[in-house]
Structure 1
Amino acid sequence: MELNQTLSCVFMCSGQGSQKPGMGADLIDVPEVAQVFDCASDILGVDVRNLCTQAPAEELNETRNAQAAIATLSIGIATALIARGVQPQAVLGFSLGQISALAISGMLSVEDTFRLLAVRSEVMAKAAQQNEGVMSAFMKGTPEEVEEVCASCAQGQVLVPANYNSAAQIVVSGEVAAVERAEAAWKERGYKARRLATSGAFHSPLMQQAASEFSAYLETVQFSDPRVPLICNTDAQPLKAADAPAHLTAHLTHPVRFMQSVQELAAAGATSFVEVGFGGVLNNLVKRIDPNLDHVCVQDRASMEALIQNQA
């Protein structure tokens, strides 16, 4: 499915790290949201409702729990909005959010999306335990400068740009010592770096084992052509059903091109970006990428009702 000039509203699905105890608490009794939570809990074998509303930060932040909570809330919010007449013309995820986007776009059923999520979170957690790595956000500078620092500081170790968040924020991922060298080099240039609270070096070659295992699983999955275009993190282009296994595999070891995706969507006519999920990280990134775009985060009852009223 190609993008066209009739785009207006884009749903954005939150990525890992956006979780917080109590997230979505006042939305869980919305019928569509409740149904998605029930489905996730049944398939993932964990009480996702309890994770969001009752679990302490330490429990919620575990990779499997965080991914379950974030994806469930994103899919639930999107489902509720669509049921109330807010129709996206495209959907875009950030890292984990790309899995949520599979359900919203219609490429997978909600049930199959959670089955896929269970496998993905399992192989990623295992790879992170076996290949120690970290991620760090580099502020200011340019993408080209980040790429230069990664190339010069790798010194035979894994060190790569992992998330192209905006022109002034790129996340790098790799082995601990390599990331430490890159952080020092970045600060020598007069910029700031901030270590992220992740459990591994995601979107880097350190996830190759996870990618191999995930690839084998994806060969058993039947993807449908999307009802709504899904913009893929790996190349900032619409994802086709036939390409889904290869692209979702590459997604684990290649960078998230979020900035490029927003730019492509804006060029295709998108004017309104709605983050469905908690925290507003993507909402803030859109503001940095292009301040002329409308952007909002729907994460609670008040923000949901306000968007529905504005769309009426």
Structure 2
Amino acid sequence: MAAGPVFACSGQGSQRPGMGADLMDIPEVAVVFECASDVFGLDVAALCSAQGDPSALNDTRSAQAAIATLSIAVGRALRSRGVEPSALVGFSLGQVSALALSDMLTDEQALSLASVRARLMGEAADANPGAMSALLKADEDAVEALVSQCAQGEVLVAANFNCPGQIVVSGSVGAIGRAEEAWAARGGRFSRLPTSGAFHSPLMGDALEPFSAYLESVAFCEPRMPLICNVDARPLSASTVRDHLARHLVSAVRFSQSIDLLSASGASSYVEVGFGGVLTGLIRRIDKDAARMCVQDRASFDDCLALAAQGAFAGRG
């Protein structure tokens, strides 16, 4: 793997007023935010400001606009200053940000795709109510058995493989409730996620056909560096990206497996571009030897540039 950190693009849920506020005077950041405001039809910089309305920012469409915009903006600013990623990986929505940073899409195309995706997922969630819950100290076999026990004819699937010991299940409200009760009865802990639907499950199926039709109108380039796909933890290509992005709506996020692949390929440093440091924490649990940092404000941005100047980002070889 080439020298340079892996860029990890944040997923939904990490938004907070003030995110990226002290980065707005960086020209590349300002340009991406202006583009996003045009695409989403709202002032994304104002949405992210410290004075922004938390309830407005937590709306699914607004949250996805803010998170994708900041990830792309931070990545563009780093790349323009010589911090070139050796590879990219995203978490759910973050995979769309990675499409821009790998140059598979322009920033405008990626943000437009994020906007369409958010709308269709929201409509599917409204039509097919569901929920998601993180099971702690869980392994794949235990979750598979739990799903078989608790589905009882309703939708219940493993939806996010976050890191060793943390797997998220997604499905109908009743099935999620049964899974939580059964997991607690086994002495397990769980955390209900504040999502508006059962994402990455068959309950998103209504979005498949219209999203696939939209993707046919999008021109994708080959990535400039490997972009690891959530669906199968393998690199994307221009010939496979449409199918994978559509399947992504109803398939599990294999983040843990993606980091395993990257680490086995020689990656030893990761820079989360976005906000909140959620992926940085997951990576610590997947590959404890990897260097990792979250670039989310001016101090961490400057630190990243300083580390790059020192040649700190290098693979294992």
TM-score of the alignment, normalized to the shorter chain, above 0.5:
yes
Task: Quote the residue 2:38 is aligned against.
Answer: 42
C-alpha change, 1:29 and 1:128, in structure 2 (3 Å) is same
Task: Quote the residue 1:262 is aligned against.
Answer: 259
Structure 2 Cα separation of the partners of residues 40 and 139 of structure 1: 36
Structure 2 residue 89 is the aligned partner of structure 1 residue 80: no
Task: Quote the residue 2:189 is aligned against.
Answer: 192
Post-superposition shift, 1:8? 4.5
Q: Is the 1:120–1:214 contact (alpha carbons within 8 Å) kept by the matching residues of 2?
A: yes
Q: Is the 1:7–1:271 contact (alpha carbons within 8 Å) kept by the matching residues of 2?
A: no
Task: Quote the residue 1:30 is aligned against.
Answer: 26
Task: Quote the residue 2:131 is aligned against.
Answer: 134
45-54 vs 68-77, greater mean Cα deviation: 45-54
Structure 2 residue 271 is the aligned partner of structure 1 residue 274: yes
Structure 2 residue 284 is the aligned partner of structure 1 residue 287: yes
1:27-176 matched pairs, under 5 angstroms: 27-53=23-49, 54-176=51-173
Unaligned runs of 5+ in 2: 310-317
Q: Secondary structure at the match of 2:21?
A: coil
Post-superposition shift, 1:11? 0.1
Q: Secondary structure at the match of 2:23?
A: coil
Q: Is the 1:132–1:201 contact (alpha carbons within 8 Å) kept by the matching residues of 2?
A: yes
TM-score normalised per structure 1: 0.97
AA aligned to 1:268 is S
Post-superposition shift, 1:6? 3.3
AA aligned to 1:210 is A
AA aligned to 1:250 is R
AA aligned to 1:28 is M
Q: Secondary structure at the match of 1:242?
A: coil
Q: Is the 1:202–1:252 contact (alpha carbons within 8 Å) kept by the matching residues of 2?
A: yes
Q: How many residues align?
A: 308
AA aligned to 1:41 is S
AA aligned to 1:130 is A
Structure 2 Cα separation of the partners of residues 291 and 105 of structure 1: 26
Structure 2 Cα separation of the partners of residues 8 and 168 of structure 1: 29
AA aligned to 1:229 is P
Task: Quote the residue 2:313 is aligned against.
Answer: none
1:191-230 matched pairs, under 5 angstroms: 191-230=188-227
Unaligned runs of 5+ in 1: none
Superposed CA RMSD in Å reads 0.9
Task: Quote the residue 2:232 is aligned against.
Answer: 235
Post-superposition shift, 1:180? 0.4
Q: Secondary structure at the match of 1:75?
A: helix
Percent identity of equivalent pairs:
57
- Moved beyond 2 Å, runs of 4+: 5-8
Q: Secondary structure at the match of 1:177?
A: helix
Post-superposition shift, 1:182? 0.3
Q: Is the 2:6–2:269 contact (alpha carbons within 8 Å) kept by the matching residues of 1?
A: yes
